Amino acid sequence: MSDDPNPDYRDLLRSPYDPDPDDGAGRSGEGDSELPWVPAVVAAALGAFLVGAFVVYAVVAGPVEDEVLVDESTTTTQAVPVQATEVPDGFVAITDEIGARVVSVDTSAHAITVAVSTAVAGTLDPAEVEPLHVAYWVLDDGDTADANPMVRQYEIIGSLGNVTVDFPPQASLREPEIIPYLASGETTSHTLTLELDASVPQVLGGMMIDFGNGRVVVIDELTIADGWGWVAWSTLGDAVAMVDVIVTFEGTDDPGSDMIDPTRLASAHLQTPGFFGAQVPPPLYGFTGSASLVRAGEPLSSVNSPTAITVDITATVPDSVVQGSPIPLPSGG
C-alpha cells in the first residue's frame, strides 16, 4: 500500500463490489448482508407515503387558484365559457335554458317591427321551461345615448315562442341589435278598488298605484259605458307593468252563461279565459298600455240597472330586471 502514491483516488475508484482492502477478505456471501436493504425499503415506503399524502391532500383540497386543468382525452377545453348549452340554429342564449333570435325586421311609418323567436336550449323539455318574461326590449346601435326602448311587445294566441316588438319608427338601425331586459324573480301586484255610483257613462283619470322606488302606474283614462269601456295607462320612473281592469255592474242580472261573467266589463282575455275562440292573449309588460273593455251581459235598462259600480284596477310589476344577451338583427334589417 505504501507504494501507492494516491491511495485516496484508488479508494474513490473502487467498485462497491471490490473487496474491502481493510478487512482482508474477498467477496463472500457475508458481504451481501452488509448492503442496507432494510433502510432502503423503509426509505422507499417513506417516499411513497409522503407523496401519497400529498395526493390525498390535492384531491381533497381541489385545484389551486389559476390552475388550469386540461383534459387530454378531448380537444375541448372545459374552461372555455361558451353559451349555456347547445341552442338551435342561429339562436343566442338569453338564459341558461332559452335561446332567442330575430327573425325579421320591418320598417314602416308607425314602427320598426321586430319578430323574435324563442326555443329551449339543448335537450331541455320545452314543457318544463317557462317562457321568457321580458320586462322590455331596447334597440341599440352600439351607442348607449341612442338606445331606443320598445313601444310595446305583443303575442298572438297559438303562436308559441313568437313575440313581436315595436320600436319607434325614427330609431336608428346602424349596427343594430336588440337587448332583452328580463323580469327576474318575484312580481308585485297591487289592486286599486274604486266604488262608484251607478251612472254611465263615466270618464275617470289620474289614479295612481305606487310601488315605491319611483315606480308608479298612472291610469290616464278609464271610460265606463253601458256596453263598452276603455283604459289607457302609463308608468313613471321607467317602470314596466301589466294592468288589468275589471268593472263590475253590481246588481245586474245573469243571463245564464256560466262561461262569461255578465256583470263584468273587462278585457277580452279576462272575459273568456279558457274559451277556445278567444283571440286576445293576456298583456305583456309595457311602459304604456291600453285596452278595450267588453261586456257580454244583458244590456243595461230600467229593469236591469246596476245599483253601484265597482272598479278593480290591478297592476303587476317585476321586482327586478336583468339585462340579457344582445341579439343581432339580421343583416340588411
Partner 1 sequence: MKPRAILLIVVAFALGAFAAGSIGVRVIREVRTAEGATSLPPSVTTTSQPQDPVTFQVSPTETIIGSAALVPTTLDSSGSSVAIGYDLVTLAPHAGVESWMAFFVSVGGTEIGDLDHVYPRGWSIDTEGGSFPGGPANPTTRVARFDVEEGFSLSDITDVRITDAVALFPLDVPFTLSQDEPRREIAEGVTVELLNVSDQGTSTIVQVGVSFDPLVFDAVFIDGDGPGWRSAVREAEGRPRFNLTWVGGGIPADIPLVMEAAVWVPLSGEFAVSLEGLR
Least distance from C-beta 61 to partner 1, angstroms? Answer: 10
Nearer Cβ to partner 1 (198/232):
232
Q: Which residues, 208 to 237, sit near partner 1 by CB under 8 A?
A: 221, 223, 225, 227-228, 230
69 lines the binding site for partner 1 (CB under 8 A): yes
Nearer Cβ to partner 1 (156/236):
156
119 lines the binding site for partner 1 (CB under 8 A): yes
206 lines the binding site for partner 1 (CB under 8 A): no
The binder of partner 1 chosen from 141, 147, 149, 155 (CB under 8 A): 155
Least distance from C-beta 143 to partner 1, angstroms? Answer: 26
E-assigned strand segments in 126-212: 134-140, 148-149, 152-154, 162-167, 177-196, 202-204, 207-212
Q: Which residues, 9 to 38, sit near partner 1 by CB under 8 A?
A: 16, 34-36
Per-residue burial over 14-51, b if 16 or more Cβ lie within 10 Å, else e, is eeeeeeeeeeeeeeeeeeeeeeeeeeeeeeeeeeeeee
Q: Which residues, 248 to 307, sit near partner 1 by CB under 8 A?
A: 273-276, 278-279, 281-282, 290, 292, 294
The binder of partner 1 chosen from 7, 47, 237, 251 (CB under 8 A): 47
**Omega prior to 16 cis, within 30 of 0:** no
The binder of partner 1 chosen from 92, 136, 137, 164 (CB under 8 A): 164
How many Cβ atoms sit within 10 Å of the Cβ of residue 215? 20
310 lines the binding site for partner 1 (CB under 8 A): no
Nearer Cβ to partner 1 (155/210):
155
Task: Kindly report the length of the chain.
Answer: 333
Contacts with 69 (C-beta within 8 Å, 6 or more apart), sequence order: 63, 78, 79
Q: Could you identify the residue written with the cell 339543448?
A: 122
Q: Could you identify the residue written with the cell 308585485?
A: 188
